[in-house]
Structure 1
Amino acid sequence: MTNFQLMSKQNGFTVMEVLVAGFIMFLVIATTTLIYRGATLSSHKAERSIYINGLVPVMTDAIQLEIRQKGQASIDKLSGSGKMGEAAYSWKAEMIDFQAAPPQMLAEAGLAVEQNNRFKLWQVELDANYKDYDRQYRYVEFSWNLAP
């Protein structure tokens, strides 16, 4: 009987064990690959978003300067475009309010002198893009006419 026990002793894995182990390894590799791919895509998206968000203050400063220079007199719509670093942007602004300063009080005469409309409030829409990533912003801008 000892000869029979020695002959039936296994020297390796069965085909079923190898198939199950291979399938488990395939699942682990596939899952790891998907996780890595998702992390890489998220990293690229975050990089583009951070790049654009870092340039938005510079873009809004340039837009503010242009609105204050060109938004004089009876102009009520403006637009433009530009490039900052590797990002491009375009914008349009529409005047949403045009007001005067409060009346000026002349104490010695006891009169209130009405002011001319001079101050403008603009609704600005900014579209910035970098490496096929577009981002839209909306904000308000303030300007005034230099000639009262």
Structure 2
Amino acid sequence: MRGKAKGFTLIEVLIAGSIMFIVLVMVTDSFLTARNSARHADNIIAMLQPLPLVKADIQQQLQQSPGQPATGQGTFGQVTFQWRAEKTAAAAPKPRFELESGTSTLFAERFYLYQVELTLAVADQQKILTYTELIWRQGPGVPQ
């Protein structure tokens, strides 16, 4: 009779190899997903960094012609943007009552509410943001 064999059988080696292969595939998939998520997050951060400057630019352009629809586009660093704004509401200041004369002063429209759609793009990603913006005509209220 033969003595007891030392080592692993072929089936044990195949099972161990299969388990190792499955673990390797899972780790690789997790790594690739994490890398893609990090790249996506970096692009979103890069896209949103100049947002305060873009909003200030939009406010300035809307302030120049209050009450009118407006569009624009531009570039800040590697971020390109396009926007359009539509007036959704307009209002005048409340009438002012003069106690001495007993009359009311009515004012023309001075406050404008816009719906702004802003499209930001960087690399191969694009994000559309929608928000409302309040603009008012500068200077004293203009009586009607």
Normalised to the residue count of structure 2, the TM-score between the two structures is 0.88
Residue 20 of structure 1: CA displacement?
A: 0.8
Structure 1 counterpart of 2:52: 57
Q: Please give the root-mean-square deviation of Cα atoms over the aligned residues, in Å.
A: 1.6
Structure 1 counterpart of 2:32: 37
- Identify the range of structure 1 (107-116 vs 138-147) with the bigger mean alpha-carbon deviation: 138-147
Residue 91 of structure 1: CA displacement?
A: 0.3
Q: Match for 1:115 among 102, 107, 114? A: 107
Is 1:99 the counterpart of 2:100? The answer is no
Aligned residue identity for 1:122? Y
Task: Tell me how many residue pairs correspond in the alignment.
Answer: 140
Normalised to the residue count of structure 1, the TM-score between the two structures is 0.86
Q: Match for 1:8 among 3, 10, 26? A: 3
CA distance in 2, matches of 1:101, 1:19: 82
Q: What percent identity do the matched residue pairs reach?
A: 31
**SS where residue 88 of structure 1 aligns?**
strand
Question: Which of the two has higher C-alpha Rg?
Answer: 1
Structure 2 counterpart of 1:81: 73
CA distance in 1, matches of 2:52, 2:122: 15
Aligned residue identity for 1:48? N
Residue 76 of structure 1: CA displacement?
A: 2.7
CA distance in 2, matches of 1:24, 1:117: 74
Instruction: Return 5+ residue gaps in structure 1 as ranges.
Output: none
